[in-house]
Amino acid sequence: MLSIKNLHASIGDKEILKGINLEVKAGEIHAIMGPNGAGKSTLASIIAGNENYEVTEGEISLDGEDLSELAPEERAHKGVFLSFQYPVEIPGVSVTNFMRTAINETRKANGQEEMPANEMLKVIREKSELLEIDRKFLSRSLNEGFSGGEKKRNEIFQMAMLEPKLAILDETDSGLDIDALRIVANGVNKLKSDKNAIVVITHYQRLLDYIVPDFVHVLYNGKIVKSGGKELAHELEEKGYDWIKQEQEA
């Protein structure tokens, strides 16, 4: 589904990604771990099409289609979703209104009719229950005054609403207490199918107890330096990132 080949990217003069290779197939969950500053969030932003970064080499494709020339919204229309590490506030725009706009713009881009209001309400009800979201929450301004946990839960709620092909969860566990973590992870697991794929970006192993990855990759200094099964996450937890650093610098 997602294929990244020899991806190099920089911001200004600084090269952040230095040749990433990654293959994600439908039905798989991949975890990308690594110390701060390794380039994890950069990778997520670049897949989503953030124009602050310049791709200097390599390619990203989704189901064989080159993404590099597509605008962020076009990538979204093709099923790329990014759960942001720091979701932004949009004052005066309710969660419901935002979701309705997002869904209808996506449908429009894919040549579909707008979603009828009654259907929209039904989906909103279903998905908010899935994530145990109080419906009053949905009429609040997007992310304005939300707690860290509420913001993350809202991100996964949006993922549930948009049903993406490829979901990238960037540090979704940060800011979540243990109960919220369980709810969010549970939501993600229910959304998982053999048609979609999930890339979990995390610093800690904790989230991976709930969202169990098929593959774990360690990103260090702009490169994937180690890949393995879920046991790699445990190994990292035990030995810490210094282990990787020492291996790399040795």
Q: For binding to another protein (CB under 8 A), which residues are involved?
A: 48-52, 69-74, 76-77, 81-82, 84, 87-88, 90-93, 97-98, 101-103, 105-106, 109, 141, 158, 162
Nearer to another protein, 23 or 73 (CB): 73
Nearer to another protein, 127 or 226 (CB): 127
Nearer to another protein, 48 or 176 (CB): 48
Task: Give the span between the Cα atoms of 119 and 175, in whole angstroms.
Answer: 32
Shortest CB 243 distance to another protein, Å: 34
Shortest CB 72 distance to another protein, Å: 4
Shortest CB 98 distance to another protein, Å: 7
Shortest CB 47 distance to another protein, Å: 10
Shortest CB 76 distance to another protein, Å: 4
Which residues, 6+ apart, have CB-to-CB distance to 3 below 8 Å? 22, 23, 24, 59, 60, 61, 62, 64
Q: What residue type is 74 in one-letter code?
A: E
Shortest CB 102 distance to another protein, Å: 4
Nearer to another protein, 53 or 210 (CB): 53
Nearer to another protein, 65 or 247 (CB): 65
Q: What residue type is 142 in one-letter code?
A: L
Sequential DSSP letters for 74-122: HHHHTTEEEE-SSPPPEEEEEHHHHHHHHHHHHHHHTT-PPPPHHHHHH
Instruction: Note the maximum CA span of the chain.
Output: 61
59: left (phi over 0), alpha (psi -120 to 50) or beta: beta
Q: Give the strand order in the sheet containing 14-24.
A: 14-24, 2-11, 54-62, 65-66
Nearer to another protein, 78 or 226 (CB): 78
- DSSP at 202: E
